[in-house]
Amino acid sequence: MSIEPDHRLTRRRLLRQGALGSAFLAAGPLLGSAPARAAVARPSAAITKGGTLKFARSVAPTQLDPANSIIAGDVYTLDKIFEPLFITSPAGELTPWLAESYTQSSDHLTWTFNLRPGVKFSDGTALSASDVVFSLKREAANVDGPLGFLDSAIKSVKASGTSRVVITLAEPWAPFLSDISVFANAIIPANFGGRSEKAFFAKPVGTGPFVLDSFTPDSNLALLPNPHYWQPGKPYLGGVQFNYVADDNQRVLQIQSGAADIIDSVPPANVAALKGVSGITVELFPAWEVDLLVFNEALPYFADRHVRRAITHAINREALVAATSFGTAKPGGSFFPPSLQYYDPNTPVLNYSLSSAKAELAQSKYPHGFATKLLISGGVEKWSEFAQIIQQSLAPLNIKVTIESLDHAAFESTFQAYNYDMFIDYAINDISDPDEMASFEVDYKGSGVKSYWSSYNNPAAISLVHQAQKEFDSAKRADLYAQIQTIVAGDAPYVPLDYPPYIYATGAKVHGFAVNPGGAYRLENVWLS
Amino acid sequence: MVIGVAAATFLLLHAIPGDPARQVLGLHASAAAIAALRHRWGLDSSLASQFGRYIGDVVTLKLGDSYVYGLPVTTIIAQRIGETAGLVAIATVIAVAITLPLAAIAASHRDRAADHAVRGVSVIGLGMPSFWLGIVLIEVFAVHLRLLPVGGSGSGLLGHLEALLLPSLTAALAIVPLLVRSLRVGMLDVLGADFVAAERANGLGELRVLVWHVARNALIPTLTLLGLNIAFLIGSTVIVENVFALNGLGSLLVSSISSRDFPMVQAITLVLAVSVVAINLATDLAAARLDPRIRLR
């Protein structure tokens, strides 16, 4: 799960906006069987090259150092310039990228990566194993960085010749390939190509399809094609212009008027109308994201499992999604979203039932209800709609809910100080492996944040999370994660409210645009007719 | 006054919850990483010592670096101030251009249909919020008629001016009703004055009386009001820039508050406060020029 603020959007924010109440299209039980989201496909003749893609985004880049990045504006800009050894495809699958292949030792401790031949940085120098060693060591040492924790299993990184890299792990770590594919582990030239760190990131050099042309803080950023890109003939675009457009209406108007070729975070309320505009395509991409109602188990009411179960039963998630997402989101069940690997569709979810809710509450220490507060981030219509629906849903249980709405930064500081009764926020997975979400939401100590600030602490579930981290057999991992999802569904430390998708709108000229479930979109396949 | 604004901004920013270090480092950040960043920014010292240092910096014009961009705030503000200045300047011109004829028509047709129409429209105008009016103007002029861009800053001088037209009109329309009413009342006062009757008796044409003598005299209170309203215009850029995706100081202020970029918020507030003071001074000086009775002592 990553992080964020209001306009200084982090990835989480992007998700939130993209997903203001949204949904999931086609759900496959396991990642492998999840239908790949086809790129925006229009009947077309041959690919044409050139033209500048005008992309209006709700997020703005602030800087381009992968080691310092977590906000959406940074992450989804620098990934056009720098590339990691593996990437996650739009279908959510790990795909060899700068590494062409890899092998691992039978004890899972030594991983050898063979670099793709013929890869060059945008200044024309060839990619070498020393660049990979430098980049991965830099991120692994970046323990205080936003995603430094992902590399904690790495013990050493060594070059073997110029085209092979050997990584030794401190312990077997099943999510390792997913961790290596995160943008923070992107490859930069060794020693910043001989420049200072600051000078390098002001005019960065990477292996990605694009190079930085110009950057105006909090406003716009322009990219040009990398003439040395390793995929022949790509990128097709002659340039990319990212414009920061914070206002939802303004973005929608820009796509309607042709001022923008692509917009992100289409408000769900506008989806139907935009679909009716000829030449505009609205695309919903499944996301590794789930909106949660979180209980503070440090409080006596919510330490009572029956209370949490009663509240879960009392919330009609189908109706909530129908009322708020305009048909874009899917109602919540498991705390894993359906797009995530090892999601179990057979998780025994506590379904909506007022009689079950009343029966659970009757068994609790608070059979006659109580008064509590619900904290939300203000200014986002979706959260206030959710809060009101939850408030009304709990009234029949005589649980009186007061809604507290704070500006985003204040909201985050408040729940992160454990100073809340209940709060609503979204949780996302940054990598293709579900370990991140499982650890962050279930591992009381390992998460560093008491299981997503809920203080949920179930030793049986935590032990399963640890086992899954060291299990390399995918059938066994699927079973472990199914058990975790079952335990969490029964304990109800939080209510998974819905699974929102990423919503983008593209103009008639745009071809080949696709977003992966982590929210990243690669642009080397995009072309304009 | 500027120091007062600086102090108020500082205290309000530090009073609201929300940690800039957390905003930059994200959800996974360790407590140690957050503490280290807070120390680098001096946020771990006492509020009083931070305040003392800040006021010292303001007096010596050391505005610092943005937490989010790591660049001097003055550099970033310099990139954006032109947009906001252009917006306010064009809005002022538009506001005056609309106000003068409307007020003249209303005043010269006192209590007749034209007067009621102008006053009625003014009241309606007063009730229209900028964010809504902006969207309506975009729908009409940009989406349907396709005469002007829907938003963004445009490129080249002409593109820039074109892009500022709708936002300026939106901002101007917010203050026109007040200006029209003020100038109308001012003109009515002057129209009743003896010297106007004398001029009419001397055979001067009605249009000449109205434009040359009445408007000039009625302009003085309106000018003062205009000065105050330009301050309001500067404030309204926060909304208008957002609606039209303009990259000026107003939109930068909003995003900086969201990310708790303290140095940026403080610097922008200072720039806006200084502008307001400067504009009020300028309108007072202009009033003195128009009216020999007002003289600086």
Distance CA A416, CA A449 (A): 8
Residue with tokens 């991120």: A139
> Which neighbouring-strand residues pair with A126?
A120
Q: Which residues of B touch A253 (CB under 8 A)?
A: 135, 138-139, 142-143, 150-151
**pLDDT in single tens digits along all 529 residues of chain A:** 443 333 333 343 333 333 333 332 233 333 333 334 445 545 455 899 999 999 999 988 888 999 888 778 889 999 999 999 999 999 999 999 999 999 999 999 999 999 999 999 999 999 999 999 999 999 998 887 777 778 888 999 999 999 999 999 999 999 999 999 999 999 999 999 999 999 999 999 999 999 999 998 888 999 999 999 999 999 999 999 999 998 888 999 999 988 999 999 999 999 999 999 999 999 999 999 999 999 999 999 999 999 999 999 999 999 999 999 999 999 999 999 999 999 999 999 999 999 999 999 999 999 999 999 999 998 788 999 999 999 999 999 999 999 999 988 889 889 988 999 999 999 988 889 999 999 999 999 988 889 999 999 999 999 999 999 999 999 999 999 999 999 999 999 999 999 999 999 999 999 999 999 999 999 999 999 9
CB–CB contacts below 8 A, A to B: 155
Whether B243 and A244 lie within 8 Å, measured CB to CB: no
Distance CA A372, CA A363 (A): 19
Note the ipTM here. 0.77
Task: Count other Cβ atoms within 10 Å, centred on residue A333.
Answer: 24
Distance CA B283, CA B261 (A): 33
Q: Which residues of A touch B242 (CB under 8 A)?
A: 246-247, 250
Q: What is the largest CA-CA distance in chain B?
A: 85
Nearest to A380 by CA among A494, A248, A512, A218: A248
**Interaxial angle between packed helices B47-59 and B262-290, expressed in degrees from 0 to 180 and rounded to the nearest 10:** 40
Q: Which residues of B touch A245 (CB under 8 A)?
A: 151-152, 245
The answer to whether B129 contacts chain A (CB < 8 Å) is no
pLDDT digits (tens, 9 = 90+) for A441-486: 999 998 888 999 999 999 999 999 999 999 999 999 999 999 999 9
Q: How far is A363 from chain B (nearest CA, A)?
A: 36
- State residue B281 phi and psi, 5-degree precision: -65, -45
Distance CA A363, CA A252 (A): 50
Whether B143 and A257 lie within 8 Å, measured CB to CB: yes
Q: If you ran DSSP here, which 8-state letter would residue A505 be given?
A: E
Q: Which residues of B touch A220 (CB under 8 A)?
A: 247
Whether B17 and A246 lie within 8 Å, measured CB to CB: no
Q: Which amino acid is at B64?
A: G
Q: How far is A60 from chain B (nearest CA, A)?
A: 10
What stretches of chain B show up as alpha helix (H) in DSSP?
Answer: 2-15, 20-25, 31-40, 47-59, 73-108, 113-126, 130-137, 156-191, 194-201, 206-208, 215-243, 249-258, 262-290
SS3 (DSSP) at A42: coil
**Residue A527: C-alpha distances to residues A46, A47, A233, A493, B92 (Å):** 10, 7, 12, 46, 43
**Residue B14: C-alpha distances to residues B11, B19, B34, B43, B265 (Å):** 5, 9, 17, 10, 12
Q: How far is B192 from chain A (nearest CA, A)?
A: 49
Whether B16 and A407 lie within 8 Å, measured CB to CB: yes
> Which neighbouring-strand residues pair with A441?
none
SS3 (DSSP) at A333: coil
Distance CA A324, CA A328 (A): 9
Residue with tokens 């961790």: A179
Chain A residue with CA closest to B154: the answer is A259
Nearest to A425 by CA among A434, A433, A416: A416
HEC readout, A188-257 = CCHHHHHCCHHHHHHCCCCCCCEEEEEEECCCEEEEEECCCCCCCCCCCCCEEEEEECCCHHHHHHHHHH
Nearest to A432 by CA among A104, A184, A175, A100: A175
- Using CB atoms within 10 Å of the CB of residue A187, give its burial: 0 to 12 exposed, 13 to 18 middle, 19+ buried: buried
How many residues does this entry show for chain B? 297
Distance CA A430, CA A69 (A): 12
